[in-house]
Amino acid sequence: MNPSTKLVTLTVRGIDAGLKQVFAACAPDPMSPACQSAVTASLFSLGSLGPVLAGTYAKIAQALPDAKIVVLSYPLQFEPGLSAFGDQINSGPVALNAVIQAAVAGVNNPRVVLVDATQEFAGHGIGSPVPYIAFDPADLAALANFHPNALGSSLGYYRALLYDGVLRRS
C-alpha cells in the first residue's frame, strides 16, 4: 500500500477471538464443560477486542487519506444445525461481527465501512455440499482451516463487495 491507495479490504484479528482454543476444547465433545468454558472465555475476550479494532481501522484511515477502508464481516464457519460442535463454533463469528460493527461505527469516519458477507456465505459453511471455508479434518492444525477457500474469496467476499457497491463489474 502507498498513500495513493484507493481501496483497502480487510478482515483482521479474528484469530484473537479464540477460535483455535474453542476448536481444541470443543472437538472432542461439544457439550463438555471444557467446551462451554472455552466458548465463554472466547466471547468474554471480545469485549477488549473492540477498541483494538477501532484503533486499527482509524490508523489505516489516517495512513491512507484517500482510501476507502472496507471491513468485511466473518462468515459462519459451519453449516448451521448440522452438529452441536459447529453450532458452538458459529457463536463466535456472530458475536465477533457485532464487535466489528460497533468498532467500525466507533471510528466515525465515512471512509471506514462495514460490508456484511454472511449472506453470501450462507449455505456454504463447513459441512455443506459446496463449502466456502477451508477445513481439513485430517489435519486439524492446518493453517488454512477456518479461512475462506478460493470459492469463499470469489463467491463469498467478492460478491459481498460487488453487491454492496464497493466493486463494479466491468
- HSE on the CB side for 57, CA within 13 Å? 32
Residue 18's pLDDT is what?
74
Contact 50, 106 (CB under 8 A): yes
Asked if residue 144 is part of any domain, the answer here is no
Asked if residue 45 is part of any domain, the answer here is yes
Q: Which three cell numbers stand for residue 71?
A: 471491513
Residues in Cβ contact with 63 at an 8 Å cutoff, skipping those fewer than 6 apart = 1, 3
Asked if residue 68 is part of any domain, the answer here is yes
Contact 151, 120 (CB under 8 A): no
Question: Number of structural domains, the chain?
Answer: 1
- Residue 102, domain CATH: 3.40.50.1110
Residue 24 lies in domain: 7-122
pTM of the model: 0.88
Asked if residue 44 is part of any domain, the answer here is yes
Asked if residue 72 is part of any domain, the answer here is yes
Tell me the per-residue pLDDT of 89-119, one tens digit each, with 9 for 90 and over.
888 889 899 999 999 999 999 999 999 999 9
Q: Which three cell numbers stand for residue 27?
A: 472437538
Asked if residue 147 is part of any domain, the answer here is no
Tell me the per-residue pLDDT of 11-28, one tens digit each, with 9 for 90 and over.
987 766 777 787 778 777
Asked if residue 152 is part of any domain, the answer here is no
Other Cβ atoms closer than 10 A to 75? 26
Contact 43, 97 (CB under 8 A): no
Question: Chain centroid to CA 94: how far?
Answer: 9
Contact 43, 91 (CB under 8 A): yes
Share of the chain above pLDDT 90, in %: 55
